[in-house]
Amino acid sequence: MIRLMRCVVVAALLATGIVYAADAGSGPATTFSPKSAGEYLDGRMAWWIEWKTSARAQGTFCVSCHTALPYALGRQALHTALGETGPSLNEVKLIENVSKRVGLWQEIDPFYNDEKSGAGKALESRGTESILNALVLVSNPSRPGSLTPSADQALRNMWALQIQTGDSAGAWPWLQFHNAPWEGDSQFFGATLAALAVGSAPVSYRSSPGVEEGLSKLKAYLSREQAHQKLIDRVMLLWASAKMPGLISAAEGTSILGEIRSRQQADGGFSLSMFVGDWKRRDDTSLEQKSDGYATAVVSVALLENGAKVADRTLKGALAWLKSHQEPDGRWLAYSLNKQRDLASDPGKFMSDAATAYAVLALRAR
């Protein structure tokens, strides 16, 4: 079934003229510096673990969409290049942190509560964390092909919070702080991460008792709502579709891929500002229009996951941009959608944290 779905998506790529003939064994040359990328990511994760603002109940820390989750997904792509035989120290700390929160799920405080953050934030926080926990633990590089007890429990926690009725049936409560692209009108984004989590679990998991019904509702939600979403969230859907058959049709894949291609810039990269519709910054400053590491990396990963080859001119241009735009400190620059930030500050690096993790995931994918 997975192979059939990849054939459908590659057919969509062909239909849009995106895929071109390539040697089946070809892949991007690793002309970037894995060492400096790893040092940047490790440094940022170490800072996040110790930063007082990220501290949460019982000695745990927040699993952020901008730093912790991308680190969990992307840092493992550097193991071979860095001569590592297992997870890095900070990967282990992240897994231990998430496992602890999963084990204390019924008693530990949510990341945010209603009293300090506003009505509904405790439930939104629980729904968001349940998905992030599941995706982090399912993607644990030390247990490929199997679910740890913590990962299994995280998935159970996630399904227990799935919305059952109403317009959002099949999705989850999701934090809304008017912070794009992850906490602002982003319930659909959260659902794509849930699909990634389930799709990254062993295939047999999908037919487990109680899972099929929830998965059917998730697929229905993504199908029903995808046409109305910002393009960056539809790119995430494309990424998830490579892991989870049946999320999109060939026609939907063709539509997403056509929109992606139409937004590629002359330098081969992509600008996140062109993937978020009419989103405005809170400080009324203009969105950055030049290519950035986040949009370029996420597009690259989505194309690679769906079987695109490096001779695909869209992918080729994106990977070339990534290879030529790594900063001396190891990161790829990306810019806040919410306000103008100092890129040398710790909060100013949040978007670059995600960009760097996904850039190495793309550049080490083949």
Count, in order, helices (H) and strands (E) of the chain. 14, 2
Q: In Å, how far are 69, 98, 171, 303, 349 from 293, measured between CA atoms? A: 16, 27, 28, 15, 12
pLDDT tens-digit profile of 165-204? 999 999 999 999 999 999 988 999 999 999 999 999 999 9
CA 97 to chain centroid, in Å, comes to 19
pLDDT tens-digit profile of 8-30? 455 544 444 333 333 333 343 44
The answer to whether residues 231 and 263 touch, using CB atoms and an 8 Å cutoff, is yes
Neighbour count for residue 154 (Cβ, 10 Å): 28
Name which of 299, 298, 288 is nearest 338 in CA terms.
288
Q: DSSP secondary structure string, 319-335? A: HHHHHH---TTS-----
* Count of positions (residues) in the chain: 366
Tell me what pLDDT residue 14 has: 42
pLDDT tens-digit profile of 122-139? 999 999 999 999 999 999
Between CA 341 and CA 339 the distance in angstroms is: 6
Name, in order, each residue with C-beta under 8 angstroms of 324's C-beta and a sequence gap of 6 or more: none
Tell me what pLDDT residue 26 has: 37
The answer to whether residues 117 and 69 touch, using CB atoms and an 8 Å cutoff, is no
45: Cα within 13 Å, side-chain hemisphere: 28
In the chain, the domains with their CATH numbers are 2-363 (1.50.10.20)
Angle 130-199-6 (CA atoms, 0-180°, nearest 5)? 150
User: Which neighbouring-strand residues pair with 60?
Assistant: 56
User: Which neighbouring-strand residues pair with 151?
Assistant: none
- Helix/strand/coil for 292: strand
- Residues in the chain where the model's pLDDT stays below 70: 1-30, 143-144, 365-366
